[in-house]
Amino acid sequence: LNTFALGDLGNVTEAGRAEGYALAWSTAAARWEPRPQTGGGSSGRFGLRNLITNATFRINQRRNFATTLGAGVYGYDRWRGGASGCTYSVSGSILTITAGSLAQTINGASITETGPYTLSWEGTAAATINGSPVVNGGQVMLSPSENVVVAFSGGTLSKPQLEQNPLPTPFEQRPIELE
């Protein structure tokens, strides 16, 4: 991908992914401010950049290997069947959702500041946040203390990421100890 400079926001690839910077919304300044990406990334001022837990579907403490989940029934850690359940298959870190939806609730305490958050993923699945459709790389406005339900349906899914940035950034692999 070609890269071009975007003022003081660092480099942005043609695919719209920031390289070397995590952009964080500054409520006080009412603007996006570039912050160099570090190993852990950042959402707001503290914590990890990707708010989605177990985004590579590598943790399954319940050992629930069922390919059909009822509504609200958990399979892989933090992931559950949506309102009408979910039928899916897993190959490595790629899910294929054939019916229903797979959802994760993100605790409102993880939302550190009011502002735009970007949802991105690899694959053909469709996504919603709190029931509203979101395109890959699309933004939603979120507020602290509000739980957020991210759901995917109908297609393949890998590397989902929800972050406080105006552009999707490279996928953040969270340390397994924090999953």
Q: What are the pLDDT digits (tens) for 44-61?
A: 333 578 999 999 988 888
| Per-residue pLDDT tens over the stretch 90-100 | 998 899 999 99
Which tops the pLDDT comparison, 9 or 156? 156
Predicted pLDDT at 43? 43
Could you tell me which residue, 123 or 64, shows the higher pLDDT?
A: 123
Q: What is the mean pLDDT of the chain?
A: 81
- According to the 3-state scheme, what is the secondary structure of the chain? CCEEECHHHCEEECCCCEECEEEEEECCCCEEEEEECCCCCCECCECCCCCCCCCCCCCCCCCCCCCEECECCECCCCCEEEEEEEEEEEECCEEEEEEEEEEEEECHHHCCCCEEEEEEEECCCEEEECCEEECCCEEEEECCCCCEEEEEEEEEEEEEEEECCCCCCCCCCCCHHHC
Q: pLDDT, tens digit, for every residue of 125-161?
A: 999 999 999 999 999 999 988 899 999 999 999 999 9
Residue 16 confidence class, pLDDT cut points 50, 70, 90: very low
